[in-house]
Amino acid sequence: MNAIGSGFGVQDVMALRQQVLERSNALREVRAASENGQAPDALGAPTQAPGAGFASTLTTALDKVNAVQMRAGDMQVAYERGQVTDIAQVMLARQEAGVAFEATLQVRNKLLSAYQDIMRMGG
């Protein structure tokens, strides 16, 4: 009695569960690093050396987020064309893109808040 459908078994569910757990752990590490005063980029990768430049670090992070967004979009188009048959893979890519975008928005909000605080001080 396979209620989910033929071709999608317990092993597939366990593999998806493992992928979700791995991504959840990665997000926890990013959160812990940001709470400890470290500054990971929008995808949780280590930032460059302190003297490397803020603009290049920000550009690199935005490029990574863009790449994740493009990959998710390409996977969705491939699914719609029938080239990709694993909907779970497509949904995970969309979720990853959403998390990356949300992290980018949070970074933007923090930068905007810091800029506004600095502008209020100058006077």
Per-residue pLDDT tens digits for 97-111: 999 999 999 999 999
Q: What is the maximum alpha-carbon separation in the chain? A: 73
Answer whether residue 3 is part of any domain: no
Q: Please check whether residue 104 lies inside any domain of the structure.
A: yes
DSSP letters along 28-74, please? HHHHHHHHTT----TTSPPP--GGG-HHHHHHHHHHHHHHHHHHHHH
Tens of pLDDT, residues 40-70: 555 555 554 554 687 888 889 899 999 999 9
Are 33 and 58 members of one domain?
Answer: no
First to last CA, the chain: 73
Quick one: 58 and 27 in the same domain? no
Structural domain total, the chain: 2
Domain that holds residue 14: 8-37
